[in-house]
Structure 1
């Protein structure tokens, strides 16, 4: 799928992740582990662990997509099970990350829309997005694709010596 950016169009290709993408996906994610509270992981993951994660998601019949821009992997989005119990099987939790230097270029919206289209195609009913707060950009992206806020958990994470709230957004497909 080809998509464009906002005011300065960016040629992008959105496709399913492959094993060969694991190192680039891991590098993007590890930046967020090291530098931000966007993820609550505190130890870098690396290529091998990321390859296992991608394979696990895809083995469940769920999408893991990447976006390429100018020949480089610029971000990824995927959905994993919300909870393990069988009654939750039609609900997933979505995740999206863009590489540093690729945020604000109009890549997130088409990537998230492609993820939601793939989730519709595989019979998903509800999508949950968890956002470490504050995070105005992530909130705006989720709401732009139709998510609505459903709750806030106060001080449930601790990273970089501070307490972090998590907000939850939901989209019914």
Structure 2
């Protein structure tokens, strides 16, 4: 089941994300978050955009949300999207389900462009974005450093509405 994130989900969402902070280059954050810090993020995002979770038998297995792309008013119809799936639930298509639902919600809000930012290399994330119609529009070399490695970042973009 996909639904809006609620405050009671913050601990599980935090645990999912902290795995990626500690074990992965999928996020460039390097310090784990507290449940309170995650709850603050969820609440702040939800003032403007959806934050969704996917659950099975009452257990949150992943989440996706949108956030401001840039703060200038001309960018008001563009947003950044992110998805994280619990390690034990990866490879089951949950990210696809979350992103599809998120994009439907964003389209209903009149968002026009969604942008996914992927640390590279990350074959699974690239496949996910491209499966859902995102197109790579940029590749920035060595813009991040994590675990002593310089990392590239790719930008994938999807237009939600046909050109007007």
Q: TM-score, normalised by structure 2?
A: 0.96
Match of 2:117 among 127, 130, 138: 130
For the residues of structure 2 that align with 1:156 and 1:27, how far apart are their CA atoms? Answer: 26
Q: Could you report, residue by residue, the CA deviation over 1:78-137 in whole angstroms, capped at 9, with x for unpaired residues? A: 000001111111110000000011001121111110010010011101001000001111
Native 8 Å contact 1:157 1:164 kept in 2:
yes
Match of 2:71 in 1: 84
- Could you tell me which runs of 5 or more consecutive residues in structure 2 were left unpaired when the two chains were aligned: none
Deviating runs (4+, > 4 A) in structure 1?
none
Match of 1:53 in 2: 41
Aligned residue pairs, count: 160
Native 8 Å contact 1:27 1:46 kept in 2:
no
Match of 1:104 in 2: 91
The RMSD of aligned alpha carbons is 0.7
Match of 1:159 in 2: 146
For the residues of structure 1 that align with 2:57 and 2:24, how far apart are their CA atoms? Answer: 26
For the residues of structure 1 that align with 2:94 and 2:46, how far apart are their CA atoms? Answer: 22
